[in-house]
Structure 1
Amino acid sequence: MQLSLALARSPLESVRDALLCEFGPQRPVTRMDPISQLVKSSISGRTLDAVSWNAFLRLRAEFSCWENLARAPVAAVARIIQDVTFPEDRARHLTTALRMIEEKVGWLSLNHLKGLDVDQARWELQALPGVGVKVAACVLNFSDLAMRALVVDTHVLRVAKRISLIGAGDATQAYHTLMGLAPDTWTADDLFELHWLMKRGLGQMLCPHEGPKCGACPVKAMCAKVGVGHSADVLAWRPRG
């Protein structure tokens, strides 16, 4: 009997379940406030996690509050974060973004985003300099806003293409496609977990850019790289909208 499309599971559920069996549950232990998360995520692009975390900790040690960072000279901020990618650009964008938030809200806070629809909140963040869909999703999902947004970084983008969850396209297109595949019942913590599983577990441990460990991969049946193509649940599933 053919499976009804209405009863078909999202392929993201199959991916999540397979990776959970391999790596176990991955839930957030602590969450930063949204401004701190914005600072951290704004300096993290194309930079190793350890490097960006160290740069963030230096910023936090240097400035007693983020309001002082907003008013700091760009050159001084760039020196503190000099080992991240494009430090001058990131310092300029970050300090400008913090001042824009102060001007719009009246003080340096993003807590008002909690009262918005997730897409409205994302668009408000993406209006800030240097903030694209990835940084916006980091602020919404990783911070104590805890909103339903999937962070699509380079690892998630790469493996999502390899296992045929998405087609060609950039991170913005991937974000919308993957969010369309996410069941409505999934919470912010579920999307945090999916990000961890796809980035750390699959993307960094099993399926790096070079030398993927296909034999150990729990989702290799979905992978176009090994010549199997789409699994049955990908063919059956149709995204919402």
Structure 2
Amino acid sequence: MQLSLGLWRSPLESVRDALLCEFGPQRPVARMDPISQLVKSSISGRTPDAVSWGAFLRLRAEFRCWEDLARTPDAQVLEIIGDVACAEDKARHLTHALRLIEQKVGWLSLNHLAGRPVDEARWELQSLPGVGVKVAASVLNFSSLAMRALVVDTHVHRVARRIGLVGSGDTTLAYQALMRLAPGSWTADDLFELHWLMKRGLGQMLCPDQAPSCGACPLKHDCAKLGIGHSAEVLPWRPRGA
């Protein structure tokens, strides 16, 4: 039993290795400060990357600093980010969240989270309006905080279910399940890389919501074994040969 435990390999390692062979490394080139990442991630939900980046760049061009954004009427913010999904709610939540950070910290900064345990920092972020587990993980992992949190967006959640890494449940349950599978030796950069491999490489290019290209998928053998891709039912992951 001790030998088998010592040889156990997380399925996330196999997924990452297969996707790396197909799509190559996806390491971060530059990281924004945590507040900028919060602004970007808060307007990105259910919105194509090109659209959310456009809205974010318009915000940066409009305001001298994020403190100015925090004091801007919601209607004015809405005019700038109007093409993102749920823009009215995001405009209201974003300015409110920024003001709450100022009130709690004393100034507009999230740098204090660097010294916190990951889950404690995540819960602090999730106490802000409009911030769920995906936005919180994005701030922790994508920003200069560079903390061990996997960003589970719609694409990552979908493909994780299809290949049997997670079962039914919401994004929070999927995040918790995938973080339990993440090897302790993995760094923030490793989790960043896994996110982009699963999102852009697998989720957007090969395994979209409709008509996945199963024949070209580097994980097709696992999917075939588990019956994924042809059924709405997702079976729990099990090692090859089990």
Q: TM-score, normalised by structure 2?
A: 0.93
Poorly superposed stretches of 4+, deviation over 4 Å: 226-232
Aligned to 2:203: 203
Query: Is the 2:163–2:237 contact (alpha carbons within 8 Å) kept by the matching residues of 1?
Result: no
Q: Trace 1:9-24 onto structure 2 (pairs within 5 A).
A: 9-24=9-24
Query: Is the 1:10–1:234 contact (alpha carbons within 8 Å) kept by the matching residues of 2?
Result: no
SS in structure 1 opposite 2:178?
Answer: helix
Q: Trace 1:155-234 onto structure 2 (pairs within 5 A).
A: 155-223=155-223, 224-226=227-229, 233=239
Query: Is the 1:74–1:92 contact (alpha carbons within 8 Å) kept by the matching residues of 2?
Result: yes
Where do 5+ consecutive residues of structure 1 fail to align? 237-241
Between 214-223 and 74-83, report the one with greater CA deviation.
214-223
Q: How far does the alpha carbon of each residue in 1:102-135 deviate from its partner, in whole angstroms, 9 at most, with x for none?
A: 0000000000000100000000000000000000
Are residues 234 and 155 of structure 1, via their aligned partners in 2, closer, same or farther at CA, if it must alter by over 3 Å?
A: farther
Query: Is the 2:152–2:195 contact (alpha carbons within 8 Å) kept by the matching residues of 1?
Result: yes
The one-letter code sitting in structure 2 at the alignment partner of 1:99 is R
Percent identity over paired residues:
76
The one-letter code sitting in structure 2 at the alignment partner of 1:67 is E
SS in structure 2 opposite 1:4?
Answer: helix
Aligned to 1:141: 141
Q: TM-score, normalised by structure 1?
A: 0.94
Determine the C-alpha separation between the residues in 2 that align with 1:102 and 1:85: 26
Determine the C-alpha separation between the residues in 2 that align with 1:53 and 1:31: 15
Where do 5+ consecutive residues of structure 2 fail to align? none
- How many aligned positions are there? 236
SS in structure 2 opposite 1:141?
Answer: helix
Q: Trace 1:1-241 onto structure 2 (pairs within 5 A).
A: 4-223=4-223, 224-226=227-229, 233=239
Structure 1 vs Structure 2 CA RMSD: 1.9
